[in-house]
């Protein structure tokens, strides 16, 4: 029996309370804690035959996102008078469990990735791995899922922290990146972490562009049109920035030493006027990773403003 999963259904108790940054969600039986960045409520677990079980969850009120957890042990079922037996918690164990879970759920093969050691240390776990994928069959109103597996202890205990969400109902890549990043930045097993206080130069608490950022985007749109840049050029940069998004915590400082490298990487194929304008914008505004993560959304706003610009600016690009 050693190495097989067994489950303890006492993990369904959940405490939800308001706190700075959103709603604190605590699972005393694990114990697991995180701050959900938005209003919501606890949801009951599911143990129906033929459906993926979970102990309990938290459903966001304003976003098509639900966070669920399932605790398990890799130890053999306890026998009175004997020591627990089973494998240790390691990053490789987390990766194997995440891969196996995802294979049963995903519509097409997607790789699982090890959690960075700095994240494992902050989460108080011995290993972590995650994978994001479209679901083979919709789970209620959700068609996407992220599986984050956390492992801890000797023998290993495991938490499957899954986040199901719906792109069809409005979960955009920037919104997902912001919500998921903020939640993970407060996640801990066996401890309580405060939600990071992030003063973004781009997004409000609902991941919408701030009026000041939208005004800067509109001004840049005019400057770029006059410089011969097209909306398609800006959208191409936005797509590349999305692909280059890392896994850093939103409140982590952005490394300004990367600024001179952007024209050689993300902006390598962009017109010079666009590259220069974005480097100036980033140098002035980007302080933390949350700002950097918002750049694709900022570029989207620039492109939208360019497309709706008055005809007098069109001569610069031959329209």
The CATH label, of 3.30.420, 3.30.450, 3.30.360, 3.40.1000, for the domain at 6-189 is 3.40.1000
Q: How does DSSP assign the chain, residue by residue?
A: -TT--EE-GGGG--EEEEETTEEEEEETTTTEEEEESS-EEEEEEE--TTS--EEEEEEESSSSEEEEEEEEE-SPPP-TTS----PPP-HHHHHHHHHHHHHTTBSS----EEPPHHHHHHHT-SEEEEEEEEEEEEETTEEEEEEEEEEETTTTEEEEEEEEE-TTTT--HHHHHHHHHHHHTT-EESS--PPP----SSB-TTSPBPHHHHHHHHHHHHHHHHTT--HHHHHHHHHHHHHT-----TTSBP-GGGGGGGGGTTTTTS-HHHHHHHHHHHHHH--BHHHHHTHHHHHHHHHHHHHTS-GGGGGGGT-
State pLDDT tens for residues 183-234: 998 999 998 887 766 678 898 866 789 999 999 999 999 999 999 999 999 9
Considering only the C-alpha atoms of the chain, give the largest distance between any 2 of them, rounded to a whole number of Å.
85
Name the residue with tokens 């938005």. Answer: 38
Q: Where are the domains of the chain?
A: 6-189, 211-317
Residues of the chain short of pLDDT 70, as ranges, are 1-11, 76-79, 81-84, 196-198, 205-206, 245-249, 311-319
What pTM was estimated for this model as a whole? 0.69
State pLDDT tens for residues 73-99: 887 666 676 666 788 999 999 999 999
* Residue 4 pLDDT: 45
**Best CA proximity match to 124, nearest among 90, 146, 152, 147:** 152
Length in residues, the chain: 319
């Amino acid at each position: 029996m050693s190495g097989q999963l067994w489950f303890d259904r006492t993990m369904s108790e959940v405490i939800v309370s308001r706190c700075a940054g959103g709603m604190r969600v605590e699972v005393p039986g694990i114990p697991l804690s995180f701050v959900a960045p938005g209003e919501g409520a606890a949801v009951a677990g599911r143990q129906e035959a033929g459906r993926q079980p979970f102990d309990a969850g938290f459903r966001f009120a304003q976003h098509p996102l639900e966070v669920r957890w399932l605790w398990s042990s890799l130890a053999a079922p306890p026998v009175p008078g004997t020591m627990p037996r089973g494998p240790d918690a390691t990053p490789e164990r987390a990766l194997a469990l995440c891969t196996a879970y995802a294979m049963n759920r995903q519509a097409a093969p997607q790789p699982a990735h090890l959690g960075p050691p700095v994240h494992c240390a902050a989460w108080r776990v011995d290993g972590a791995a995650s994978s994001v994928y479209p679901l083979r069959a919709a789970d209620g109103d959700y068609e996407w899922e992220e599986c984050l597996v956390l492992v801890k202890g000797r023998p290993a205990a495991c938490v499957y922290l899954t986040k199901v969400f719906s792109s069809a109902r409005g979960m955009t890549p920037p919104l997902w990146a912001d919500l998921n990043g903020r939640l993970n930045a407060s996640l801990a097993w066996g401890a309580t972490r405060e939600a990071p206080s992030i003063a973004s130069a781009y997004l409000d608490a609902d991941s919408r562009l701030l009026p000041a950022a939208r005004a800067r985007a509109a001004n840049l749109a005019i400057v770029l049109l006059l410089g011969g840049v097209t909306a398609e050029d800006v959208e191409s940069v936005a797509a590349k920035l999305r692909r280059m998004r890392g896994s850093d915590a939103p409140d982590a400082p952005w490394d300004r030493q990367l600024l001179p490298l952007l024209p050689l990487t993300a902006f390598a194929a962009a017109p010079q006027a666009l590259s220069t304008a974005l480097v100036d914008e980033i140098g002035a505004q980007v302080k933390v990773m949350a700002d950097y993560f918002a750049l694709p959304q900022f570029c989207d706003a620039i492109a939208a403003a360019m497309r709706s610009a008055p005809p007098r600016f069109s001569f610069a690009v031959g329209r």
